[in-house]
A and B are shown apart, each in its own frame.
Chain A
Amino acid sequence: MKSIRAMALVSTDPASVERGAEAILRAFQAEIRGAGLLDEIKVSTISDVGERDDLPLVMIYPEAVVYGPVTPEDVPLLVEEHLKKGHIVKSLLGKMHEPVGEIAWLRSRLGSLPVQQRIVLSRAGIIDPESLDDYLIHDGYQALGKALFKLSPAQVIDEVEKSGLQGRGGAGFPTGRKWGFVRAAHGRPKYMICNADESEPGTFKDRLVLEGDPFSVIEAMTIAAYAVGAREGYIYVRGEYRLAYQRLENAIRQAEGRGLLGQKIFGQDFDFHIHLHAGAGAYICWEETALIESIEGKRGQPRARPPYPPSYGLWGKPTLVNNVETLANVPHILLNGGEWYHQFGTEKSRGTKVYTIMWNVNFTGVIEAPLGITLREVIEIYGKGMKKGAQLKLVQTGGSSGSIVPASMEDIPMDFESWRKYGASLGSGAILVCDEHTCVVDLAKVLLQFFRFECCAKCTPCRVGAARLYQIVSDISQGHGTIESLNEMVQLGQDMELLSNCGLGQTASVAVRDILKHFRDEVEEHVLQHVCRAGVCKLGEPLVKES
């Protein structure tokens, strides 16, 4: 398969053809041939572009820039400036329209955002997720082939370790090292589990991979199984993701049919079977030991650790558990080598991260960008700026268990270390952009309501702590708070962080800690003056401040 770096689409709907679209198409082909770019740039047509008055138009990918109306005489300039030098020719830009027709379709699929570096999502939206053939054409299963024929399991782990890939489930543990642990573990048999129980609110990155590129997850699992010595694997996909379940089911069946999964994979002496397991709605099952318990047909309550899953996992055997996004990186790393991965991200946080951006920005959805970009860049470039009139107040990252980050942290690189230094966590990559109409007390209340409900009730600090924190915050939001209760929250939060059995309890108090750290004055206003700046909380009559 030839890989192209750009694509120019000429509109060929009846109105465009009437106005000379064919001449433009010919001009493009001639110009690109003349410039010797035939191998790099593809020229094609697009028909239904919707009702527009700037036809004929030309659309250039990957930036998804729309030019129009274009004449054949403009073509040399477009090729020279845009396709050769990468400059957008502002004078020829089409009018800003709400995208309709196939433009809307293409934009939503390919992403209309500049400088995205897509590894994990490189195929999502471009291939037919239900066709193994399509996946094979787009470099599918080459990495597995390379691993099975050219590399020993130890070399595969080396390559992953060299890449510096860190787990994308939230904790950021080095993937290669985890694989090494499982390989070195003594018990037999070993299991490989793909954690597709993406239940962190505001996170839907894994859904995109599962729905858009299910084969890559299966290929990566097979590679991992080969590396660690597992012969059986499970995909735990959450019950709410029905489409993902169907696509995975189909992908497993097709891969088995071609000898890429099951017995004697690639005709080699290597068997690997995958079971698909649907969850039944429990946030806590994202925690790996809870997930294992759930597969075993029990309540999804986390186990006491250590021992960790690499030594004592599913059915008490060594088990490797990896997140979907982590796995989706693996085939690319193996195919291109661990060194190749170093070009993305920062020195200590390699690679890209898939983020989901929501709410007060002009573009909401999924993006993939190198680790180490700043929040400002995410909002300005990928989110296309704040919504009209909105002022950034805070960002809630990483779903419910993530951090509340004030606007002042806008310029800190988003990677695992830098954020850890400031006491924030990237978590699952969800970015909820909030403006001044968001009340921090109300936000903390919703988050605690969530934790109170999702707590598995196994350990006391979390069960009682989350309920008590919720009660206090709820009191504050109704005008019954006291200033002492703020300190109680801090203390309770620390206790929960230290004493809880799993990540849920340890992070349940983060929201409270963060609002008291960054927005204490606003919380105090609720308590002392019965004033909610954002006008969200119903506090009754304001108390007059003593002068």
Chain B
Amino acid sequence: MSDDTKHRDDTDQQEAIQAAGRSRSAQIGETELNAALKKAIQHHGDQRDAIIPILSELNEAFGYIPGEALGKIRRLINSPDEGLFLSDSQLFSIASFYQQFSLKPTGKHVIRFCESAPCHTVGGRQVIQALQEHLGIQIGETTEDKQWTLLTTSCLGLCAVGPVILVDEDLYGNVTPERLPAILARYRGEQ
């Protein structure tokens, strides 16, 4: 496993900002984003404690948090009269802190692999190696054809049936390298 891919350092953040900037021109339309934001604020309110739920909702809707969303959130929830004042950089620091948020566009299917000790000891090492070989990418990367993104997740609380992987919303326990082709094939069929 490449140990450097997951390190939160400056270059990583720079890349994320750039990627967020690039996405401006790409996939997500202005109206689509506005609608999602409006829905999230209706649901969670526009106070400080709504920030993370709003980001979660966007992340879920688009697979990542588009860079331009941060400025929009700021404009929507800032109310200096009530002492609530946020900057884009603060929002970025929040969005980049939490593991479930992605600031880069992800592939069609996202595989999250649990790399905690209980899964590691029961054979997770072999599974992640096999996964990387099958997909031809490292952790944190997306395949050329934008079909797969490989990420890690913190413990999913299913340690009794480790190693565990999460493909989109579907959980797989007792995963072995031998089972992987069959699991992946299920999603390939939809393509």
Contact = CB atoms under 8 A, between A and B. Distances in A.
Nearest to A450: B116
B56 to A, nearest CB: 6
Interface in B79-118: 93-94, 97-101, 115-118
Contacts, number: 127
Interface string A335-368: 0000000000000000000001111000011100
Contact of B157 (A198, A296, A457): A198
B3 interface: yes
Given A240-B153, A278-B56, A457-B8, A356 B117 contact: no
A322 interface: no
Interface string A275-305: 1011111110000000000111111100000
A443 interface: yes
A331 interface: no
Interface string A419-438: 00000000000101010001
A257 B116 CA distance: 40
Contacts of A452: 7
A236 to B, nearest CB: 10
Contacts of A365: 160
Interface stretch (B33-41, B46-54, B130-138, B181-189): B46-54
A365 B155 CA distance: 15
Nearest to B112: A240
A400 B114 CA distance: 14
Nearest to B122: A359
A430 B52 contact: no
A474 B3 contact: yes
Given A280-B98, A281-B99, A298-B94, A240 B156 contact: yes
A316 to B, nearest CB: 12
A280 B100 contact: yes
B6 interface: yes
A438 B118 CA distance: 11
B117 A277 contact: no
A237 to B, nearest CB: 11
Contacts of B97: 282, 299-300, 456
Contacts of A396: 117
Interface residues of B, number: 38
Interface string B46-84: 001111110110010000000000000000000000000
Given A202-B155, A240-B154, A296 B49 contact: yes
Given A280-B98, A474-B3, A443 B153 contact: no
A201 B119 CA distance: 9
Contacts of A297: 48-52, 94
Given A296-B49, A356-B160, A474-B3, A432 B155 contact: no
Given A438-B121, A457-B8, A474-B3, A356 B159 contact: yes
B172 to A, nearest CB: 15
Contacts of B161: 364
Given A278-B53, A359-B122, A202 B98 contact: no
B98 A200 contact: no
A358 to B, nearest CB: 5
A456 B159 CA distance: 24
A531 B158 CA distance: 33
Contact of B117 (A278, A280, A294, A446): A446
B117 A281 contact: no
B121 A443 contact: yes
> Max chain B CB contacts within 10 Å: which of A240, A275, A278, A453?
A240
Given A282-B97, A298-B94, A359 B156 contact: no
Interface in B1-40: 3, 6-8
A364 B161 CA distance: 8
> Max chain A CB contacts within 10 Å: which of B122, B157, B158, B161?
B157
A470 B6 CA distance: 14
A450 B154 CA distance: 9
Given A199-B154, A282-B99, A443 B159 contact: no
Contact of A434 (B6, B121, B157): B121
Nearest to B90: A298
A6 B52 CA distance: 47
A295 B155 contact: no
A418 B49 CA distance: 41
B116 A400 contact: yes
A203 interface: yes
B56 A204 contact: no
Contacts of B51: 297
Contacts of B52: 277-280, 294, 297
A364 B8 contact: no
A449 interface: yes
Contacts of A300: 97-98
A447 interface: yes
Nearest to A452: B7
A241 B157 contact: yes
> Max chain B CB contacts within 10 Å: which of A239, A279, A297, A298?
A297
A508 to B, nearest CB: 13
Interface in A320-334: none
A457 B115 CA distance: 20
A359 B160 CA distance: 7
Contacts of A204: 155, 157-160
A207 interface: yes
B160 to A, nearest CB: 4
B6 A453 contact: yes
A359 B121 contact: yes
Contacts of B116: 201-202, 400, 446, 450
Interface in A145-199: 198-199
A434 B118 CA distance: 10
B157 A277 contact: no
A280 B101 contact: yes
Contacts of B100: 239-240, 280-281
The 6 closest A-B CB pairs, nearest first, are A201-B116, A281-B99, A297-B51, A204-B157, A280-B98, A281-B100
26 contacts: A199-B154, A201-B116, A202-B117, A202-B155, A203-B155, A203-B157, A204-B157, A277-B49, A278-B56, A280-B52, A280-B98, A281-B153, A282-B97, A283-B154, A297-B49, A356-B160, A396-B117, A399-B155, A400-B116, A400-B117, A430-B118, A430-B159, A438-B121, A446-B115, A446-B117, A470-B3
Given A203-B157, A358-B160, 8 more contacts: A204-B158, A240-B155, A279-B98, A280-B52, A294-B52, A295-B49, A443-B121, A450-B115
